[in-house]
Copies of this chain bind each other. A is one copy, B any other.
């Protein structure tokens, strides 16, 4: 009987697998290394082998994939991280496993993470969810009426590229300047802090380091260092700006913050709220903000949801 769902969250370094029962209970998880040689041509084969080694195919109902690039209608548009160009993942994987009865579906990894938080995480019970993932970059995922919002070009939820900064000139990976990612990701928080250090003579423990992490900025801010406080407030104001814009667009039930920077928890949420409510008044006096609760597992849960959503 086909009773299991496999979630496959493909990252640039490792691929995370989860085996779920029909109710979305995580039964087992494991990882393999991502082989990016030859434009990632072995990745799907490795995944197929790994799944077959764990679970007979004829017991699997479906396999959901999270892919680190734009995806729309199961077509990967491109995936620079893996070396992939345009790819019909559903067709290719069906050929690899030679079993078309297994449902195979793919979506963008950040959108998948939002689905995971809605399915089994902090956003459970909500139908309209926005996730901002604040890590090395800024990712985003949007769920409306319980459905993943991919967009016609797979650009739905690319919240890291909303333009929010008209003052600095930090270059984004996308080639532009002003993107949310350049001022509010872990990298962006450091960009902004370094600028504050340059423009001020105030003492700061941050001056002891040639390079430092976003975590250092947040930790020193919590300890009362004025440069660190000004920096993180500025970064969170940019984030609040993007959130206000998203609110005027889809006004979600809940805005979830995930990624490494979200480990700062309530401190971050309070800074966001300090700026956000000024930007959405008089229309909104309360919005649900929350820190993501599934951590690295959001992706595999979201992959499981993707399969269930299609069935």
Q: Which residues of A contact B (CB under 8 A)?
A: 70, 128, 142, 144-145, 147, 149-159, 161-163, 166, 174-176, 241, 244-253, 279-284
Contact = CB atoms under 8 A, between A and B. Distances in A.
Main secondary structure on A side of the interface with B: loop
Contacts of A158: 248, 251, 283
Nearest to A164: B245
A280 to B, nearest CB: 8
Contacts of A166: 166
B283 A162 contact: no
A161 B245 CA distance: 8
A252 B149 CA distance: 9
Contact of A250 (B149, B163, B175, B280): B149
A176 B150 CA distance: 32
Contacts of A248: 155, 158-159, 161-162
B174 A283 contact: yes
A154 B285 CA distance: 13
7 nearest A-B pairs in the assembled complex, by CB-CB distance: A151-B251, A155-B251, A156-B251, A158-B248, A152-B253, A155-B283, A162-B248
24 contacts: A142-B249, A142-B250, A144-B149, A145-B145, A149-B250, A150-B251, A151-B252, A152-B252, A153-B251, A153-B283, A153-B284, A155-B247, A159-B248, A159-B249, A161-B283, A162-B245, A162-B248, A163-B279, A166-B166, A174-B281, A175-B281, A176-B281, A249-B249, A249-B250
B241 A163 contact: yes
Contacts of A244: 163
Given A158-B248, A161-B283, A251-B153, A145 B147 contact: yes
Among A150, A241, A247, A283, the one with the most B-chain Cβ atoms within 10 Å of its Cβ is: A283
A176 B241 CA distance: 14
A280 B122 CA distance: 31
